Chains A and B, each alone.
Chain A
Amino acid sequence: MAEHFILIAAIVLILLIMASLIRVVGGPTVIDRILGGNVVGTKTTVLLLLIGILYESLAMFVDIAIAYALLNFIATLGATKFFLRRRTTDKALAEAFLYQEDAESSKGGPS
């Protein structure tokens, strides 16, 4: 009974991860994609614990979940720092990369 409940919760969590992948794939800006990756990583940390209950070896999966949470945090910080520095070093290239959809319609400038 309880294992079935955990299994259904894990399946719902996987469906939510798929729904937030829409924002990763089709986000209008780069920051939206980073945000979507952060959300997917947070949900994956929780999903690893539920998988640990299902496989009855929670003590091992807790370590994997801790490592995944650390990696997700560092990945988000690194990606934001990368785009921040890219702006200061190569401003025009970053702007063309960030607003490539708006640049076709309204000739640049944040909208």
Chain B
Amino acid sequence: MTVIASIFILAGLFFFAIGVLGILRFPDFYSRLHAAGKSDSLASVLVITGVALYNLQEFTVANLLVSIKIMLITVFIYVASPTATYALTKTAMILGFEPWEKGKKRQ
């Protein structure tokens, strides 16, 4: 069980690193949002699933309840993260940000 949890946590850290790289390197706001919105939700779900599996090493009822509560965080992140991304995109569209095109200055 520990090995499976470690693999989940490693995969999550990899996707977190990819997301941070995208946030730092992409040229404009929309592409940065594209990198952050998807990779962050996937990576947090992977790491939190790893933590829930790590918690189940001694299989008792109390540990099972704690793991179910941990998995509820993943459900909440899957609902909340796209909603926050949508709100940010809508605000940027209404505020008048223009998407980056090839040849323009990086923002």
Contact = CB atoms under 8 A, between A and B. Distances in A.
Given A42-B40, A42-B44, A73 B6 contact: no
Interface string B68-84: 01101100110011011
Contacts, number: 132
Contact of B66 (A19, A29, A62): A62
B84 A29 contact: no
A49 B29 contact: no
Interface in A17-46: 19-20, 22-23, 28-29, 31-32, 34-36, 38-39, 42-43, 45-46
Contacts of A5: 6, 9
Nearest to B47: A46
Nearest to A42: B40
B87 A35 contact: no
A29 B44 CA distance: 26
Nearest to A98: B95
Interface magnitude class on chain B: 35 or more
Interface residues of A, number: 47
A42 B66 contact: no
B33 A35 contact: yes
Given A31-B95, A35-B88, A69 B20 contact: no
A43 B73 contact: no
Contact of B29 (A32, A50, A58, A69): A32
13 contacts: A5-B6, A9-B10, A13-B13, A13-B16, A31-B97, A35-B32, A39-B19, A39-B23, A42-B44, A58-B55, A70-B76, A76-B87, A80-B91
Q: Top 4 closest A-B pairs, CB basis?
A: A73-B80, A76-B84, A80-B91, A80-B87
